Amino acid sequence: MTQPTVPKPAKRWLPALLKRGLTVIAFAVLVYLFWPFIGEMRHIFDLLRTASWGWLGLAVVIQSLSYASLTGLNFLLLQPFRGKISFWRMLAILPSIAFIEVALPSAGASGVVLRARFLGRRGYSVESSTFTNILEAIYLSVFMVAISLSGLWYLIRRGELHAGQLALLAAMTAAVLVAGLLIYRSGREREGGKALAGWFLARWNRLMALLHRPPYRQEDLDARLDSFYEGLSQLGQAQRWPFLIAAGGRVFLDVASLGACFAIFQYGIPLGILLTGYGLTLLLSGLAALPGGLGLADLSLAVIYARLGAPGAVAVAAALCYRLIAFWLLRFIGFVTWQVLEVHA
């Protein structure tokens, strides 16, 4: 008797394997580049003894203001949509999302789900939560790309970036921006958005029929989408400068906190090098399979600034201080706020 042909499972592991492979390669390259500076690590203890720790407090304050700017951006984006949330609750939600993305690595999906859950309790729809999250990323990307380009221009002027490398980086940046704009455009156009939602609804209801579950009604979907597009229309009429100020504040204050970390160890880093290193770190962190560029960002910060001329020991110490403030402290706070928000729904 002929055995039925069993379809081969889709190779869903391939993209994850490729990304992890890129992460390993990036780690290996960074270790190789940093190896010549290992001998300077004996100076770290001297740096710690002579450090100006007042700058550490300033770095924490600046980073707090940076996150307040990010909160302000989200608060502004959510205002036109149906729902109600205070600035302070939003300020507690964002660190919780940052924590859960590390605790449950899922390429950001866990953060999107937690955001929708917390905002849903305040009356916001999943559509509003997800779309404002995309808008946040687009606004921040404008300033991150600007900083990255300023860093690339600095490298070009120093003759450290060849035409081929520049073309590759430009192509990667363009691909990311185009993808983001396509997602934004598909969500913003009402008829296109409704047609896409209807396509997904038909397949969802077909699956529900196979599972003997009640279908989702088209009328309910249309009502949700009409409410979403009404809020989106109001958002489109709002002035852009408050959003740009909030997004720019988030990025530039983050850069300033990194500069303060160098000042802790009495190293006045030139603005061009500061922006260049920050922009290149953003590009390298995008290769990381771990959330937040975990590990790769810590090492790449030190390597990049050491290669750009900062003393090796200073680059390592400043990078560790910055990551302690901007990454680990934030996620510790996020763990606490997550617990509080779960209890006080």
| Residue 213 φ then ψ, to 5° | -110, 155
CB of 342 within 8 A of CB of 114? no
Q: What is the mean pLDDT of residues 244-262?
A: 95
Q: Enumerate the domain spans of the chain.
A: 50-343
Higher pLDDT, 339 or 229: 339
Q: What is the pLDDT of residue 290?
A: 43
Tell me the chain's radius of gyration from C-alpha atoms. 23
**CA dist 124 → 80, 200, 218, 297, 313 (Å):** 11, 21, 20, 34, 48
**Among 215, 193, 192, residue whose Cα is nearest residue 205:** 215
**Among 79, 128, 81, residue whose Cα is nearest residue 243:** 79
Q: For residue range 218-247, what is the model confidence (pLDDT) as tens digits?
A: 776 677 666 666 766 766 677 889 999 999
Q: For residue range 57-110, what is the model confidence (pLDDT) as tens digits?
A: 999 999 999 999 999 999 999 988 888 999 999 999 999 999 998 888 766 788
**CA dist 56 → 63, 264, 295, 320 (Å):** 11, 6, 22, 12
Q: What is the pLDDT of residue 164?
A: 62
Q: Where are the alpha helices (DSSP H) in 265-295?
A: 271-285
Q: What is the pLDDT of residue 58?
A: 96
pTM: 0.74
CB of 70 within 8 A of CB of 344? no
Q: For residue range 292-337, what is the model confidence (pLDDT) as tens digits?
A: 445 566 677 888 888 888 888 888 889 889 999 998 999 999 999 9
